[in-house]
Amino acid sequence: MPHAGGQKTGTIRIGVFVTGVVQGVGFRPFVYQQAVSAGLDGHVLNNPQGVEIEVEGPLAHIEAFIDAIRREAPPLSRITSLKTRKIKATGERGGFRIRESLGGGGHQLVSPDSCTCDDCLEEIFDPDDRRYRYPFTNCTNCGPRFTIIEALPYDRPLTTMRKFNMCATCREEYEDPGDRRFHAQPNACPDCGPNLWFADAAGNSIVTDDPLEAAASALRDGFIVAMKGLGGYQLACLAGDGAAVSRLRSRKRRPHKPFALMFMDTDAAALHCRISQAERALLQSPQRPIVLLERHLPETGPGESDTCNAGDSGIADNVAPGLDLLGVMLPCTPMHFLLMDAVEQPLVMTSGNLSEEPICRTNTDASSRLSGIADYFLMHNRGIRSTYDDSVLVVEDEQPVMIRRARGYAPLPVKLPQAAMERHPSGEPSVLATGADLKNGFCLTSGDEAFISQHIGDLENAETLLHLEQTQSLYERLFDTEPQRFACDRHPGYLSTAFCLERSAEPLKVQHHKAHIASCLCDNQCLDEVVGLAFDGTGFGDDGHIWGGEFFTGGLAGGFERAAHLDYFPLLGGEAAIHEPWRTALALAWRYAPQDLEFVADRFEVNDQRLQLLTRQLEAGLNCPLTSSCGRLFDAVASLVCGRTSISYEAQAAMELEALATRELETRAGACTDLDAISCRFSLERGEQPWVLSPARAVSQVIAGVGNRIRPGQLALSFHQGLADGMVRTAAGLADDQELTAAALSGGVFQNRLLLRLVKAGLRSRGIRVLVHGQVPPNDGGIALGQAVIALFES
């Protein structure tokens, strides 16, 4: 901060400009209170870029004031820069004021929605408080933000709360600098704010004294209730009622994919799941994400590890069939807290939609699309501007890893590497990267910030594509950014690519797996050259084949070269093999264990005539594209080991195989980290790059193990260990060959916790530093960040 001739006495005037998450988080009231406490004159106001402050008084007081801003900022704020300048003193003695916000160009960060704070919770459960049981209670430290903002600066007239005029009491709170609702834009109470009502399956209002109690009663009676949450509708039923869960699955058309659960608190969740300190902290954080936790399972012996049912835990087996993880979250709004308090049981809490459709946002939309799913509705009249799914995280090495980035995290930006900025001395071009088709999310850059959208979903229908278009348009408007460069996936058939081509005739087409590695490096602010491991289900390769088991060498500045890959094998029936993994199992037998082809065909009840037809199809390469996909390899092994012939959601078979392997490892007290006695070893064929990692021996061993009736859990663990060993040997060989010291792991396969742990341990034992994702998902939800950063380095 500038000094006045080095003197600490005398009156001076200093201008302060703060950027970051500083609107909608109680920052101006905080500044006001600090200035008044320091005896300073001046003012504070919002502008489209951040917060402007002018203070006048003794230099020592001003320095203490600025130090307090840096150290004691409100809990939901995030300061990215604080700049000061000396300006001419005015002799102002009118105290300190909050001025009206300024409009204009530029952008500033937007706060995500935040969980109800302890002070507001105390009010809604206090019978003597005027907000007793009021489900829209909030203050400057909590409540809706991003989901209600229509434009910046963040003031009530520019939010969906504009139609609710504050009553005299709420207005008094809003204007009182000593009140925690001072300038809380969504401030409301039962007399002037939004209200709830209970409705039947057709959306017709039902007269009741207490809509929340009516909803709780319906849930206790086994009904399905659709409720309007922060970012859209949710569907709820009792987690312990298997019949209710079955009805929800049938109506939602979601036969097997696991449901998330809501518990009142971590103590309740701990009755059903193991919770570490790091997981507990994440569950209780203001973001309130879904956290994947290991469920309590019945004690088993070594021969009883091949089922993953909940036993007597009280959670219905069909909540997460075949899996040993539960997605757990705690209440995040007053409505959720009040409902959980009334029900007194854990609830299934899942997105309010038919499978693969966008979440319902409006009451009209919900009445139309959810009437065949929900028995009742819990509706309200506070508008939702941005649809928001629940974020999903998992804790590894005591650090949170993002699986789905949405509520609580978007639209906060990820910092771009400084080296990318230095390539554009005249100003960084804004980039729009449109991601992939599965788990879509886009990325819009502005300066050194990458704004990654909330989870959009799979681009499989017009409704989700419209959601992408609307959200992308909102981001450009909120952050006052018009992209000059465009990036997309190389796959010619992706809707995300077609969407990008509508904006630019010549976008940068980025290879899918290179974008994965670039995303991981940006996530870690790493500019070193590394060995990159990109393992997933599908990505269009530079050679026209389907990639998915890739090793790269290189970095953000110099680009990436494919250095090794899983051996190619045919995908029998093309896309049909994704949904029917027995096809890939048969193709692997044909490719690597032809002597066992008839045995595998018998396992999947493929008769001789059909086997002959399929064999001829494989020999002719008819609708049998070649792939190096690790995801498809997992599917095939799961099909062989578990007998699963079809799947209803992505990675279902692989997740069930992981659960079997994890249970097997637990029966051995977690001590078995080397290759199993049944060696599913992968062979590495070195020579001219790219090297080839072949699963031939592993496939033969799995088939032999199935034929010899080896326990499924034992086979599953052996396959995980063999694959991890092959990955580590290949990565270490490339690192030695090119004198690299770090490895970046990306792609949906690394959501497999057991495989991730084995690979990380193996690489670290060889002295290789391991980079994994944290801020963005390793799956295709993080692809757009990689596309954007590659575009910045190549432009």
Question: Residue 726: its pLDDT value, please?
Answer: 97
Q: CA nearest 545: which of 565, 563, 518, 515?
A: 565
Residue 310 has pLDDT above 70, yes or no: no
Residue 10 has pLDDT above 50, yes or no: yes
Q: Residue 282: is it exposed, middle or buried by C-beta count within 10 angstroms (0-12/13-18/19+)?
A: buried
Q: Which helix (H) or strand (E) holds 496?
A: helix 495-503
Q: How confident is the model at residue 651 (pLDDT cuts 50, 70, 90)?
A: very high
Q: Residue 122: is it exposed, middle or buried by C-beta count within 10 angstroms (0-12/13-18/19+)?
A: exposed
Q: How confident is the model at residue 672 (pLDDT cuts 50, 70, 90)?
A: very low
Please state, rounded to an integer, the average pLDDT across all residues of the chain. Answer: 93
The crossing angle, in degrees rounded to 10, of helices 696-707 and 712-738 is: 170
Residue 766 has pLDDT above 80, yes or no: yes
Q: Residue 52: is it exposed, middle or buried by C-beta count within 10 angstroms (0-12/13-18/19+)?
A: middle
Q: Residue 418: is it exposed, middle or buried by C-beta count within 10 angstroms (0-12/13-18/19+)?
A: exposed
How far is 361 from 229, CA to CA, in rounded Å?
9
Question: Residue 239: its pLDDT value, please?
Answer: 98
How far is 784 from 453, CA to CA, in rounded Å?
9
Question: Residue 237: its pLDDT value, please?
Answer: 98
How far is 300 from 136, CA to CA, in rounded Å?
47
Instruction: Please give the backbone phi and psi of residue 13, each rounded to the nearest 5 degrees, phi first.
Output: -125, 130
Q: Residue 281: is it exposed, middle or buried by C-beta count within 10 angstroms (0-12/13-18/19+)?
A: middle
Contact 21/78 with Cβ under 8 angstroms? yes
Q: Which helix (H) or strand (E) holds 733?
A: helix 712-738
Q: How confident is the model at residue 5 (pLDDT cuts 50, 70, 90)?
A: very low
Question: Residue 23: its pLDDT value, please?
Answer: 81
Would residue 486 be called left, alpha or beta, if left means φ above 0 and alpha means ψ between -120 and 50 degrees? beta
The residues, any chain, with a CB within 8 Å of residue 660's CB and separated by 6 or more, are 305, 306, 308, 641, 642, 712, 713, 716, 717
Q: CA nearest 503: which of 563, 433, 453?
A: 433
| pLDDT tens for each residue of 494-512 | 999 999 999 999 999 999 9
**C-alpha R_g of the chain:** 28
Q: Residue 106: is it exposed, middle or buried by C-beta count within 10 angstroms (0-12/13-18/19+)?
A: middle
| pLDDT tens for each residue of 87-139 | 998 887 889 998 887 766 567 788 899 999 999 999 999 999 999 999 999 99
The crossing angle, in degrees rounded to 10, of helices 59-72 and 27-38 is: 150
Average of per-residue pLDDT across 582-596 = 98
How many other C-beta atoms lie within 10 A of the C-beta of residue 622? 12
Instruction: Please give the backbone phi and psi of residue 246, each rounded to the nearest 5 degrees, phi first.
Output: -65, -40
Contact 330/265 with Cβ under 8 angstroms? yes
Residue 4 has pLDDT above 50, yes or no: no
Q: List the beta bridge partners of residue 532.
A: 552, 744
Q: Is 342 helix (H, G, I), strand (E, B) or coil?
A: helix
| pLDDT tens for each residue of 131-143 | 999 999 999 999 9
| pLDDT tens for each residue of 231-254 | 999 999 999 999 999 999 999 999
| pLDDT tens for each residue of 36-86 | 999 999 999 988 788 999 999 999 999 999 999 999 999 889 998 999 999
Residue 533 has pLDDT above 50, yes or no: yes
Instruction: Lowest mean pLDDT of 93-107, 286-300, 734-748, 760-774, name the range.
Output: 93-107
Question: Residue 426: its pLDDT value, please?
Answer: 63
Contact 320/326 with Cβ under 8 angstroms? yes
Exposure class string for 525-542: b at 16+ Cβ within 10 A, else e: ebeebbbbbbbbbbbbbe
Q: Is 764 helix (H, G, I), strand (E, B) or coil?
A: helix
How far is 236 from 239, CA to CA, in rounded Å?
9
Residue 559 has pLDDT above 90, yes or no: yes
Question: Residue 94: its pLDDT value, please?
Answer: 82
Tokens 């207005």, residue located: 171
pTM of the model: 0.93
Instruction: Please give the backbone phi and psi of residue 252, each rounded to the nearest 5 degrees, phi first.
Output: -85, -10
| DSSP β-ladder status, 233-238 and 347-351 | antiparallel
More confident residue, 409 or 418: 409
Give ∠ CA 679-680-685 in degrees, rounded to 5: 115
Question: Residue 120: its pLDDT value, please?
Answer: 98
Question: Residue 536: its pLDDT value, please?
Answer: 98
How many other C-beta atoms lie within 10 A of the C-beta of residue 79? 17
Question: Residue 674: its pLDDT value, please?
Answer: 47
Q: Residue 616: is it exposed, middle or buried by C-beta count within 10 angstroms (0-12/13-18/19+)?
A: exposed
Average of per-residue pLDDT across 513-523 = 98
What is the 3-state composition of the chain as percent helix, strand, coil, each rounded to the nearest 5? Answer: 35, 20, 45
Question: Residue 313: its pLDDT value, please?
Answer: 67
Residue 515 has pLDDT above 60, yes or no: yes
Name the H helices within 179-314: 211-220, 242-252, 266-270, 277-283
Contact 461/501 with Cβ under 8 angstroms? no
Q: CA nearest 695: which of 584, 531, 552, 555?
A: 584
Q: CA nearest 404: which of 514, 289, 494?
A: 289
